[in-house]
Chains A and B, each alone.
Chain A
Amino acid sequence: MAELLVIEGLTKRFRGLVANNDVSFALAAGELRCIIGPNGAGKTTFISMISGHVVPTSGRILFKSRDITKLPVHLRARIGIGRKFQTPTVFDNLSVYENIELAVLATPTPSRGRHARIMRTLDLVRLAEQSDRMVGALAHGQRQWLEIGILLAGEAQLLLLDEPTAGMTAEETHSTGELLRRLVRELELSAIIIEHDINFIRDLKAPVTVLHLGRVLVEGSFADIERNEQVRSVYLGNA
């Protein structure tokens, strides 16, 4: 598989603090990857640099072989990088339908095709029945799904998901995992997922990158990671 995203020696310093230190990373097209690590490991900073919200101090980011290190957020979104924020960032005062509609308006979809596209997305994230509801009135888990729907409707190819199951019930968490696996399989999307929920990560059956103190500690399958002594000592041990 071709590499969708290649990151070379990425470093971010906030004054004295080194949030990311010489991180190199590669993600194949159609790959699902989990990023774990204790608090302060630099996970959110890492995906913020991919989405363009944080400018790296040094290093390079290549998306589809193009250097995007200095590209602003909205232009990264246009070439297919979609970010779900830690706190759902949706349009609370608009309806579910209108939320997805705005995402579709960001794409070159001709006006005739918009409605069908919106409904297809709503079906995919199981919000078709909530179409007319105000987003502010949705349950937390539904808002998380809506935000994923927004990324899909916006034609993102790389999903950056910062704690997509935060605040979800065990059942919702489980179906979120199913949804993500289905998206990767059926729509050939790629995703980088920051998570804390070990059961969710185990369910995803995806490769895991462990960050610790801003560096990549180790990468591998969940089973490998679970057995790794270093990881156990910095992370799983006190989880």
Chain B
Amino acid sequence: MTAEIQPARRGVFRREDVAALAVFLLLAAIPLATSGYVVYILPQYMLLGVLAMSLALLWGHGGIVSFGQAAFFAIGAYAMGLVMKHLTGMAINSAYVGILVGTVGGGVTALLIGYFLFSAGVRAAYFVVATLALSIVVEQTVKSFSDITGGWNGLYVDRMTVTLGSWLELSLFDDAPIYYVVLAVVVPVYVIATALMRGRFGKIVVGIRENEDRMTALGFNVPMYKTLVFGLSGLLAGVAGSFYATHAQFAHPVNAGVLFSTQVVIWVAIGGRHSLLGSFVGAIVVASLSNYLSSIEEIQNYWPLVMGLIFIAVIVLFRGGLAGLVEKLAGKGAHGRAAGH
């Protein structure tokens, strides 16, 4: 039998697992080889990578585009900041509570919004507009309640300390410790998200992307699954926001708005929306590149233009993004289950 298009079932996964291992080993090795700014800034980019993954599982697998990821990220960041600031003198580590509140806050907000929108049949462009509005609402909220959030000045957030009862107390004030703590969060997040999207849940979400009517006629509660994947997406964005706030030591309206949400969309489009790893790497690469380009004096004023051109080139030339390109170069043609659009 000769098939024109071979869906790569298990092969691609093994290749992506190898790639993931390589990426995480590289990230783990960087602080051993160097120090200074790179070790300081990379954890932030990794967390932006988690934010990108939160959109990739929604967009790449579910076919649902969201311009609201910054909102959930900001909910995580502000929850972290506010809890750490106000929850003092407790027996429990306030940073842990902050992470929990930020993560659950992002997830539950997404669940609620998803529930109302999806059960009302809101989809496609209308859904995008609703998520856009959500970003604006959160941005305006944190700007307006400046007594609590610090408004345009942002909210100062402490570096957290890792504690384990009376056994362990590890300050994350220095770059290397927090680098490894962030990495130790990012890796399981990636592994769990990947396992979920490869399992029954992820397959159902892909089925909904491919043919909603068929999935309904098979007995799947489509609005429920869309709500769940949106909730999962908000959860990931929330966890990224919580850690980002304590690393960057601030939570700012800039990380809540439409502009930031748009950047997330760009990272994911460049990295490859069908691949969680691709979007994770995409965010790190694009964020690093923006940072680098903006530091070169000659093009300081033009770098957004350069980024825009790169974005357009990727969209036009390889719609699967970097991950799609890598897969194509690695041989065996088609993009497997994630292929299509």
Chain A residues near B (Cβ < 8 Å): 51, 73-75, 77-78, 82-83, 85, 89-95, 97-98, 101-103, 105-106, 111, 129-130, 132-134, 137, 150, 154
| A77 and B219 contact, Cβ closer than 8 Å, known pairs A91-B211, A93-B339 | yes
Give the docked Cα–Cα distance between A106 and B340 (Å).
23
A-B contact pairs, 26 of them (CB 8 A): A73-B216, A74-B216, A74-B219, A77-B217, A77-B218, A85-B213, A89-B211, A89-B217, A91-B207, A91-B210, A92-B211, A92-B340, A94-B210, A95-B337, A97-B7, A97-B9, A98-B337, A102-B203, A102-B207, A132-B3, A132-B6, A132-B7, A133-B3, A133-B4, A137-B5, A150-B218
Chain B residues near A (Cβ < 8 Å): 1, 3-7, 9, 200, 203-204, 206-207, 210-211, 213-222, 334, 337, 339-341
Question: A74 contacts which of B1, B5, B220, B340 (Cβ < 8 Å)?
Answer: B220
Give the docked Cα–Cα distance between A111 and B340 (Å).
26
Give the docked Cα–Cα distance between A134 and B253 (Å).
46
In the complex the two chains form, is A94's CB within 8 Å of B218's CB? Answer: no
In the complex the two chains form, is A98's CB within 8 Å of B7's CB? Answer: yes
Closest to A136 in B: B5
- Contacting residues, chain A, for B210 (C-beta < 8 A): 91-94
In the complex the two chains form, is A73's CB within 8 Å of B7's CB? Answer: no
Closest to B221 in A: A74
- Contacting residues, chain A, for B220 (C-beta < 8 A): 74, 106
Question: A105 contacts which of B1, B4, B204 (Cβ < 8 Å)?
Answer: B204
Taking A95-B7, A102-B218 as known contacts, 5 extra A-B pairs with beta carbons closer than 8 A to each other, sorted by chain A number, are A75-B219, A91-B214, A105-B203, A105-B204, A134-B4
Give the docked Cα–Cα distance between A83 and B206 (Å).
21
In the complex the two chains form, is A89's CB within 8 Å of B206's CB? Answer: no
Give the docked Cα–Cα distance between A137 and B333 (Å).
15
- Contacting residues, chain B, for A73 (C-beta < 8 A): 216-217
Distance from A83 Cβ to chain B, minimum over Cβ atoms (Å): 5
- Contacting residues, chain B, for A77 (C-beta < 8 A): 216-219
Question: B211 contacts which of A90, A133, A134, A137 (Cβ < 8 Å)?
Answer: A90
In the complex the two chains form, is A94's CB within 8 Å of B337's CB? Answer: yes
| A133 and B5 contact, Cβ closer than 8 Å, known pairs A90-B214, A102-B203, A150-B214 | yes
In the complex the two chains form, is B337's CB within 8 Å of A137's CB? Answer: no
In the complex the two chains form, is B218's CB within 8 Å of A103's CB? Answer: yes
In the complex the two chains form, is B206's CB within 8 Å of A94's CB? Answer: yes
Distance from B78 Cβ to chain A, minimum over Cβ atoms (Å): 38
Give the docked Cα–Cα distance between A82 and B217 (Å).
7
- Contacting residues, chain B, for A106 (C-beta < 8 A): 218-220
Question: B4 contacts which of A75, A82, A91, A137 (Cβ < 8 Å)?
Answer: A137
Give the docked Cα–Cα distance between A212 and B220 (Å).
34
Closest to A90 in B: B214
- Contacting residues, chain B, for A102 (C-beta < 8 A): 203-204, 207, 214-215, 218
- Contacting residues, chain B, for A51 (C-beta < 8 A): 217
Give the docked Cα–Cα distance between A92 and B206 (Å).
12
- Contacting residues, chain A, for B200 (C-beta < 8 A): 105, 111
- Contacting residues, chain B, for A85 (C-beta < 8 A): 213, 217
Closest to A129 in B: B1
- Contacting residues, chain A, for B9 (C-beta < 8 A): 95, 97, 132
Distance from A150 Cβ to chain B, minimum over Cβ atoms (Å): 7
Distance from A85 Cβ to chain B, minimum over Cβ atoms (Å): 8
Pairs A-B, 9 closest by C-beta atoms: A93-B340, A77-B219, A95-B7, A78-B219, A106-B218, A91-B210, A134-B5, A102-B207, A133-B3
- Contacting residues, chain B, for A94 (C-beta < 8 A): 7, 206-207, 210, 337
- Contacting residues, chain B, for A133 (C-beta < 8 A): 3-5
In the complex the two chains form, is B203's CB within 8 Å of A134's CB? Answer: no
Interface centre among B206, B211, B213, B219 (most CB of A within 10 A): B219
Closest to B224 in A: A74
Distance from B11 Cβ to chain A, minimum over Cβ atoms (Å): 12
- Contacting residues, chain A, for B339 (C-beta < 8 A): 93, 134
Closest to B1 in A: A129
In the complex the two chains form, is B218's CB within 8 Å of A89's CB? Answer: no
Give the docked Cα–Cα distance between A92 and B211 (Å).
9
Give the docked Cα–Cα distance between A91 and B212 (Å).
10
Give the docked Cα–Cα distance between A101 and B218 (Å).
12
Question: B217 contacts which of A83, A91, A105 (Cβ < 8 Å)?
Answer: A83
Distance from A41 Cβ to chain B, minimum over Cβ atoms (Å): 23
Distance from B319 Cβ to chain A, minimum over Cβ atoms (Å): 13
Give the docked Cα–Cα distance between A95 and B210 (Å).
12
Give the docked Cα–Cα distance between A62 and B1 (Å).
46
- Contacting residues, chain A, for B218 (C-beta < 8 A): 74, 77, 102-103, 106, 150, 154
- Contacting residues, chain B, for A132 (C-beta < 8 A): 3, 6-7, 9
In the complex the two chains form, is B214's CB within 8 Å of A89's CB? Answer: yes
- Contacting residues, chain B, for A95 (C-beta < 8 A): 7, 9, 337
Give the docked Cα–Cα distance between A97 and B5 (Å).
13
Give the docked Cα–Cα distance between A105 and B205 (Å).
12
Give the docked Cα–Cα distance between A142 and B41 (Å).
54
Distance from B26 Cβ to chain A, minimum over Cβ atoms (Å): 33
